[in-house]
A = this chain, B = another copy of it.
């Protein structure tokens, strides 16, 4: 989330949405996926990502599985049932936000 104040508050939405689409992912994978999907626009720093994952887990939205791959540990995250509900909620909040900002920013057409 380097340098872009507007992304504040949207990280948990992004994480939840990606996990909803991809089933399960590990932290590093999420940073890379976001970089590709946004064509480099959005770079999620590890200092932001990992605390966010821990919080979502603590809130009961994510569950964890450890796995050893190439002699390196990975923590795979996936949605809990509550997490699935939360994705839908977060996405509708995001859509509402975008709509509201467009009301404020775009010249009224009516």
Contact = CB atoms under 8 A, between A and B. Distances in A.
Interface residues on A, range: 20 to 34
Contacts of A104: 14, 17-18, 34, 37-38, 42
A32 interface: no
Contacts of A94: 6, 101, 105
A40 to B, nearest CB: 10
A39 B95 CA distance: 16
17 contacts: A4-B97, A6-B13, A7-B97, A8-B8, A9-B9, A13-B105, A14-B104, A17-B104, A17-B105, A34-B104, A37-B103, A37-B104, A38-B104, A41-B96, A41-B100, A42-B104, A94-B105
